[in-house]
């Protein structure tokens, strides 16, 4: 006759003992689900998947040309009381990188070089800026690019917002100018 006695084990411990192997397999599988997004983001930030979404190529700004694209095809993101912002990427033409001092972006025509808008920073072949989008912007608004040269010259060009970022225009129409 066996003298072994059943050891009292709590149900939680029993569950753990029974399923721990499978739970650990699950822990390996969950990150795999995020891998496609991770690799897509990595390719985007490295520039392998192009400058961004809705690229407008070869915009003539005075003697220079520039490519403009939004980082992601999405509505502007809120940044607390500062309002809504949209990330844009830009690439200068190869010949003009040494001549251009600064590139600015603004919705609506700038009043002056001081108020030329937000400045692009980063490498000249892939610069980025965070463009404020006032909620009352009209859907037929233009995005103005201002290029300041080292020689002190200033050149401007504009692109329709609807072309540069259709998602922003859709977002503005959804707001309906109520804010």
Partner 1 sequence: MKHLTRRLALPILLLCAGPALAHNPMCECAPVDAEQIKCTGGFSDGSGAPGVTLDVIGYDEQVLVGSKLGDDSTLTFKRPDGEFYVLFDAGPGHVVEIDHADIGEP
Task: Name beta bridge partners: 149.
Answer: 100
Q: Please tell me what DSSP assigns to residue 124.
A: T
Cβ of residue 104: shortest distance to partner 1, in angstroms?
6
Binding string, 133-172, against partner 1, x = CB under 8 A? Answer: ----------------------------------------
- Partners of residue 154 on adjacent β-strands: 148
Closer CB to partner 1, residue 104 or residue 171? 104
- The answer to whether 117 touches 106, Cβ cutoff 8 Å, is yes
Residue of 116, 157, 164, 169 interacting with partner 1 (CB under 8 A): 116
CB-wise, 39 or 121, nearer to partner 1? Answer: 121
Looking at the chain, how many residues does it have?
Answer: 179
φ, ψ of residue 118 to 5 degrees: the values are -90, 145
Query: Under a CB-based contact definition with an 8 Å cutoff, are residues 88 and 68 in contact?
Result: yes
Among 64, 104, 144, 171, binds partner 1 (CB under 8 A): 104
Identify which of residues 19 and 150 has a Cβ nearer to partner 1 in the complex.
Answer: 150
Q: Is 132 in the site for partner 1 (CB under 8 A)?
A: yes
Whole-angstrom Cα Rg for the chain: 26
The answer to whether 124 touches 132, Cβ cutoff 8 Å, is: no
CA triplet 120, 124, 129: central angle to 5 degrees?
Answer: 20
Contact range with partner 1 by CB under 8 A, out of 17-25, 26-34, 65-73, 111-119:
111-119
- Rule CB under 8 A: say whether 119 interacts with partner 1: yes
Q: Smaller CB distance to partner 1: residue 124 or 166?
A: 124
Measured in degrees and rounded to the nearest 5, phi and psi for residue 98 equal -80, -20
Element containing residue 5 per DSSP (H, E): none
Least spacing, CB of residue 165 vs partner 1, in Å: 18
Interaction residues for partner 1, span 37-96 (CB under 8 A): 79-83, 85
User: Which residues bind to partner 1, rule: CB under 8 A?
Assistant: 79-83, 85, 102, 104, 111-112, 114-121, 129-130, 132
């Amino acid at each position: 006759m066996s003298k072994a006695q059943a050891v009292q084990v709590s149900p939680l411990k029993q569950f753990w003992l029974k399923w721990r192997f499978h739970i650990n397999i699950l822990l390996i599988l969950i990150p795999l689900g995020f891998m496609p997004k991770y690799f897509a983001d990595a390719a985007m930030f490295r520039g392998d998947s192009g400058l961004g979404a809705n690229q407008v190529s070869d915009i003539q700004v005075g003697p220079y040309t520039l490519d403009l694209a939004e980082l992601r095809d999405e509505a502007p993101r809120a940044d607390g009381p500062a309002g809504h912002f949209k990330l844009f990427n830009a690439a200068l033409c190869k010949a003009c990188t040494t001549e251009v001092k600064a590139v600015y972006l603004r919705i609506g025509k700038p009043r002056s070089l001081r108020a030329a808008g937000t400045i692009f920073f980063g490498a000249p072949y892939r610069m980025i800026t965070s463009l404020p989008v006032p909620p009352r912007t009209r859907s037929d608004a233009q995005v103005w690019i201002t290029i300041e040269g080292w020689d002190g010259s200033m050149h401007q060009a504009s692109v329709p917002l609807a072309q540069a970022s259709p998602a922003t225009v859709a977002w503005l129409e959804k707001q309906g100018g109520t804010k």
